[in-house]
Each structure stands twice: as structure tokens, then as C-alpha cells.
Amino acid sequence: MCMEKVQANIRINELRSLLEEASMRYYVANAPVLSDYEFDMLLKELEALEKEYPEYVTPDSPTQKVGSDLAKSGTQPGKEFQQYPHRYPMLSLGNTYDIPDVEAFAERAAKGIGNAFTFSCELKFDGTAICLTYKDGKLFRALTRGDGTVGDDVTENVRHISNIPQRLSVPFGFFATKEKPYPWPDEFEIRGEIYMPWAAFDRLNEERTRDEEQPFANPRNAASGSLKLIDSKAVANRGLECTLYHMLGDDLPFATHDEALNAAESWGLPVSDMRKICRSIEDIDGFIGYWDIERKNLPFATDGIVIKVNELPYQEELGYTAKFPRWAVAYKFKAEQALTKLLSIDYQVGRTGAVTPVANLEPVQLSGTVVKRASLHNEEQMRIHDIHIGDYVYVEKGGEIIPKITGVELSKRSSDVILPHFPETCPDCGTALIKDDEEAKAFCPNVNGCPTQIKGRLVHFLSRKAMNVIAGDATIDQLFNKALVWNVADFYELTKEHLLTLEGWKERSAERFLKSLQDSKKVSFDHVLYALGIRYVGEATAKSIARHFGNIDAIAAASVEELLKVEDVGLVIAESVHEFFSDGSNMEIIGRLKAAGLKFEIEDAPAKLSNVLDGKTIVISGNFSISRDEMKSLIVAHGGRNSGSISGKTAFLLAGDKPGPEKLKKAESLGVKVIDENTFNEIIGI
């Protein structure tokens, strides 16, 4: 084999590895490592190499298959959804960033059709793909794209998205007959995007930042992550919306794509009105140019324009490749970027002591918002970009990502710029910072003496997802500055007299705050555990730990090894929880909170019915005669432990009706026993 072919084969394998990892991060983990443009450029390079060396093309190459959002076993513990096949393959779209490529697409379509036709041009919403099936006018099933052949069933979650109708409406003026009692087909599919508007996205990331959780990179990832939430009711609070753009079914009574969408709109389905019928490449070019500017004023993220052959018979005639329809293409907008001056850098201390550099910028318009600040993440990122105060820096929302500095315009660097030095001591309390070898961030270790950390924990404790007390940062500042509150237990020793010493406080506001504190004593144990502010313990993890141990004393007495048995808890979290409860000052605060009447045990914990499953880790999959939560409670009641993923330590896989194929495959590969519900009932004696 010649050296040129050897090098090509090496590069092909390298590109496949990069693209597969990036695809998993994008579709499954919702944490992209490449921008859309970077991904597409790597894919084009791979396509070119495979075209030149066809002997290296394989069926599993990223050029030959659709990216998959199916939750693989072990990647999202506990996040399991039933999977169903798509009636029609759910493919991707070919992407381009150049008008000449759009012209080439139009020419290929014209050559293949040979008759006059039109194009339907519409905004490409930056969300996560969804396929809705309606039967007899009612929402029957909602599937994600999955791998294009099989998708995750997210129907219950989709029912909580406000603009998706559960039942179709009859359009005004429709006259029913015996032969035609309603205007829609008995069964049809309609596909579109679930997306998160900017306002909802900003609100969600503000909450996550306040709770020191990793913010979502962009609205698409936020939408995808929200759609896969375990608690379907929580989806309603995420502000998701939907737009639909493609109808499928047997013998649909439409001549064009546009007619089908107009009909869908008349039935109450959410269809975008930002589309246009174009008859020439000049029309298409004008539509693209208009929205490349106007998209910046939209209340949601859009990353391009989709151009489709409008006539449905011609779509069928043009057909499909293994991965794309030949009758449609997506023109992708390049990431919007702005150049602005870096004025200064603040170093912010969070409630867990993490110190984060934040760049203060000359205000600049970017993707519909005025950007004044951008995160620099950590010292390493500052060094990589060679950041200087006074530099002109590029800020972008790559793929509509939250503002980040992507580089420095060195040609504009003046002689008076200042090289910033990451502080060696806490900017608030002056304590020497520490940095874990495995973490990029620096931390202030003065947990109980650093004012910013203390106030951050106090704010977190009272927050809506924690104790839900009516108070804000200003109230905490007042209480802290007056030395009335130093730790969270102090809240429950406040009196009306204390509060009336604060500036601006009247009798009514004091009574309202005290009543809110009193009401917080009704908050469930898992929320109280979350409110304690244990590092790395978010809302979902707190719930898992609370359910596993049942009460605070059991958690406090647990070893790291015992904590690792909790679903979703890894070594970092287990060590953090163990360290928290090993601190005498934390236990003293918990003692005071107990005395104040807060809840420190699960009230609805299932009674222990037997020890027959003691020491056994069980994974469940599929549908049962009872709900999945009830089945999990039954396992715990007989001494067992639930897990979301199969490993060599799994005692058995409890498989109901239509279990997940990935779980069955994993169980078989590891030699894990699979039992049905009847066998399980025999084991526990019911």
C-alpha cells in the first residue's frame, strides 16, 4: 500500500473518531464540543476522502448514518425511555454555508424533475427534532429522531408543552359529512422541532448559574435536555415550544408541502408563518439575506434556512440518499461574531468557593441581545487566548451559544494593554486559593469565613428550588451585615424585633418574611437536603440520596462506599457528601434545623416489607402492570436497590412489556439474568 493511501486511511479513522465523539456529545450528552460549522467542515473532509478512497467507506461511517440521540446504556443513568421504530425513516438534512451550493442543489433538482416547480423556504429552528403521531385527531405518540430508524418515546413529556395540542381542532367553516366527519386523516405523522425561546433559556441558565450547576451551552441543548427529563411535569416549567414543518401519511390529500402545512395550521398545530414560496434562486437568495439580518431580532434561536421542493410528487420522484432527502437542503448561517473591547476582569466567588473570571466588555449587540459580560471560565482559558485588559476580543454565540470570548484581534492590540494575573488569594476574604489537579477552577477553602461564600449559601438555602422563602440578595445582605444571620440555622431564630431594625422594613414585611420561613418547614426532605448546599449535589442528586437513605442520620452515617450505591452518585459526589457530614460545624447546624422543625426524613418512604432483595442491585426496563415509580418503591421495600444502568454487579434485569433493546443486549453481554414481572412477584411473595 502506498504511503498516500496509508495516510488517508489514518486520517479517515481519525475523523470518524472525532465526529462520533462530537455526535455523542451533541445528541446524547447535550454538551457540544464542536460548533456546527466545525463539525460540518470535518464531515466534508471525511466525505471528500471517502470519495477519493471508496474502498475505505463503511456502513457505520458518520457520512452514511444519522446522528443518534438514543440514550445508550450507562450514558444517562435513570434516563430510560421506551423506544419505538419510526414508520418512515427520520433523516438529517444536507448542510451548506455557501449560496453556490444552494444553486447546485436547485440545478440538481431541476435536472431530476424536468418540469416547472417551486421551492418552499422556511426558517431552520435550532431545537431538537420531534415526530408526532395523531390518530383520530388525538396525540398518540411523540418520538425523538433517535438513530433515524428508532426513537425514544417522550409522549408524556411532550404533553406538557403548551402549544402542542392533545386534540386537533376543526377549522371554522368545515362542514362534516358522513363520508368526511373531520378534515384530517385517520392517522398521520407531523415532524418538527422542540425549541427553547431565548427568555426561557436565559431564565433557566440564570437558575443553574445561581445554583452553581453547569449552564446549558445553547437553547438546542437546553431543549433536548429538558425533553428527556424524568419528571414529565417538570417539562412544563422549562418554557419549551414547538414548530412543525413536515407531514407524512398514507394518501395525504395535498399536492404541495405548503398546502399540507396550511391544513395542519387550520387544525391547531403550531406551524411557522416565516416561510415563503420561491420560484428562482434569486428569490431564495433574497429570503436568506433577509433572515440572516432579521434573525437577530427573533425571540428564539435559528441557525439557517431550509429549502425544499414544494410539490410532493416531485419530492417522491427525487427520493433519498442513505442519510439525506434529495429534495431539501439546509443553508446554515455562520456564527454571529462581534468585536469589542475588554474593559476589565472581575473574579467572582461562588457559594462553593469556586473563583470564576468574568470579562467586562464595551456593550455590543449579539444574537438579539446586548452583551456586556462574558465568562472566561478559568485561568487556563485566559492563558490559551492570551487575554490582555484593553484588548479587542471576539465574542460569539457559536451555534447560538451563550456569550464566550473566542479570540483576540492582535492587530488592534495597543502598547498599554495589561496582562491580567489570576489572583492567588480569594478576592473577598484574602485566603490563599487552592487548585485541585483534576479541576481547572481555583477554590477558596475558607468555607466558613469567606463572606461571599456564606452569603451565597444563605441565598441558595432560601431559593425557590430549595426552601422557597420569599427573600432576595438584598435581604441577605441586610441580615448578614447586621450580624443577624451567619448560617442557615440562624434564619429560624429571627424575630419580628430583629427584622424591624433593618432599613426599610415595616411590620407587614417582617410578618410576611417570618410566615414564609414558617411555611418552609413543610418543605420535603429532598429539598431540605438540596438546600444545605453540599458541593456537587444538585436537585436530582439530592432526591436520589434522600430516597435511598430515607433520613438525614442514615446519610450522615454512610461511608463513601455506601454512598456510591446511590443511583447517579459517583466518587466525586460521594466524597463531597461524606466530607460535608464529617464536619462538626455542619452537624451542629443540622441539629439546630432539626430543632426548628424542618423535615429530615422521607415521609412517604415505603415500609420495609422483607429482606428478600437485600444487597441486590436491580435494573428495570419496559412497562409493567403498575407504574415504574411504584415498581421501584416495591424493590426498595423488599431491601433492593434501583439502578439505571446494567453492570457486572446487577443482580437481574426486571423486564416488562417492550423493554429497551439496549438494556437487553447489555444484560446478555454481561451474563445478567433477565426476569419478567410474574417471576419478580414470586420472588417477593405476592
Active site residues: 124
Which three cell numbers, joined as nine digits, stand for 655?
A: 423486564
In 13-101, beta strands by DSSP E: 83-85, 95-96
- For residue 217, give Cα distances in angstroms to 192, 221, 351, 636: 22, 7, 22, 36
Q: With beta carbons less than 8 A apart as the criterion, state whether 393 and 342 touch.
A: yes
Which three cell numbers, joined as nine digits, stand for 645?
A: 444502568
What are the residues facing 348 on neighbouring strands? 356
Residue 75 has phi, psi (to 5 degrees) of: -85, -30
Triad 212, 214, 220: Cα angle to 5°: 140
Ordered alpha helix ranges (H), 267-374: 281-294, 312-318
Contacts 24+ apart (CB under 8 A), 210-217: 210/459, 210/460, 210/463, 211/460, 211/463, 211/465, 211/538, 211/539, 212/350, 212/351, 212/352, 212/354, 213/538, 214/31, 215/402, 216/30, 216/402, 217/30, 217/31, 217/32, 217/401, 217/402
Contacts of 324 (CB under 8 A, 6+ apart): 91, 92, 93, 94
Contacts of 144 (CB under 8 A, 6+ apart): 69, 70, 128, 129, 130, 131, 151, 152, 154, 227
Neighbours of 29 (CB within 10 A): 15
Query: For strand 617-621 and strand 641-642, is the pairing parallel, antiparallel, or unpaired?
Result: parallel
**What is the strand order of the sheet 275-278 is part of?**
95-96, 328-332, 302-309, 119-125, 275-278
Ordered alpha helix ranges (H), 463-559: 473-481, 496-499, 507-519, 525-531, 539-549, 552-557
Contacts of 656 (CB under 8 A, 6+ apart): 620, 621, 622, 623, 624, 676, 677
- For residue 68, give Cα distances in angstroms to 63, 65, 141, 155, 225: 13, 9, 19, 18, 14
Residue with cell 453556490: 100
* Residue 135 one-letter amino acid: K
In the DSSP assignment, the letter for residue 214 is: P
* Residues constituting the chain: 686
Exposure of 408 in the CB half-sphere (CA atoms within 13 A): 21
Counts of helices then strands in the chain (DSSP H, E): 24, 22
